Amino acid sequence: MKESMLQQLTTDITDWSEYSWEEQVRKPGLWPDVDDLCKLMGLLRRIFFAGFFAPADLSEEASLAQVRQNILQAEAILREQICRGLICGAEGEADSPEVEAEQKTAAFFRQLPAIRRLLLTDVEAIAMRDPAVSSYGEIILAYPSIRAMLHHRVAHALVGLSVPLIPRIIAEYAHSMTGIDIHPAATIGTHFSIDHGTGVVIGATARIGNHVMLYQGVTLGARNFKLSADGRPQDFPRHPILEDRITVYSNASILGRVTIGHDTVIGGNVWVTSDVPPYSRILQTKPIMQQGFSDGAGI
């Protein structure tokens, strides 16, 4: 490539002047590092499920030392990334981002045992509901639902600490790996499981109780958005509430701020936009067989 072309290309490709959000590029190098956050999640996975990742010949003492080292590495990464998020986040600059990042990081790591307990209930839920499971190790190492919930449990804890940017990056990393899209603000109870998982969408204001199971393609979404005076969508409760012990089968869509009562089954491919009482069974009408379709008459 000629030098003149390289110089022009470099100038053009780094020009943000025609975009209204040009000021967000004002601090290059201070935005959260996606690669470091991916490394963080790998470390947390090894911390939460330590016994499944330690070398076979490692002594108990050495295994504990490895967990301790992983915690220290994860803490350093998270502290730095939270600091970057506070500097560049949508809420504006913090007065003392380093101090605030230290406080939020410490608060997060105090929650680690509770997050782990939640994750283990998710593992147990899959073991109890999927006849194809051969071992707990298979669930932890291979199941996309557990990978998605690992990311969600971590991201949701960070949302609770008002950490900007980082939770969404962590959630979308899981989305890209598993095809399961869970907004980090969504509230999910214990013993949660997703079978297969591809195409599941759970919106930001969704609230899910305990012992809930979703199948692939389920959407817990919004029906519409309220707009502000300047035309921007407003954040308000707009996603479903699922109470305890609910099963939602594949490709069902539950939309709007509706409540699905406990001990209910929602059948596949059903479209729900109103409240459902407890102990319900919501199913499709059986297909009707007709004879003699011709020239596209069955469409």
**Model confidence, pTM:** 0.89
* pLDDT score, position 28: 59
Could you read off the pLDDT of 239-262 as tens digits, one per residue? 999 999 999 999 999 999 999 999
Residue 235 C-alpha from the chain's centroid = 18
Measured CA to CA in angstroms, residue 144 lies from 122, 219, 258, 279 at distances of: 12, 17, 28, 29
pLDDT at 25 over 70: no
Radius of gyration of the chain (CA): 23
d(CA 101, CA 166): 12
- The residues with which 182 forms a beta bridge, in sequence order, are 202
Encoded amino acid at 47, one letter: I
Could you read off the pLDDT of 83-121 as tens digits, one per residue? 999 988 755 556 799 999 999 999 999 999 999 999 999
* pLDDT score, position 248: 98
pLDDT at 293 over 80: no
Q: What is the mean pLDDT of residues 35-50?
A: 96
Tally of CB atoms within 10 A around 11: 9
* pLDDT score, position 130: 93
Phi-psi sector, 292: left (phi>0), alpha (psi -120 to 50), beta: left
d(CA 278, CA 258): 13
Q: Higher-confidence residue: 18 or 294?
A: 18
d(CA 195, CA 281): 19
Could you read off the pLDDT of 124-150 as tens digits, one per residue? 999 999 999 999 999 999 999 999 999
**In this structure, are strands 213-215 and 193-195 parallel, antiparallel, or unpaired?**
parallel
Contact 115, 45 (CB under 8 A): no
* pLDDT score, position 176: 97
* pLDDT score, position 22: 62
* pLDDT score, position 172: 97
* pLDDT score, position 284: 87
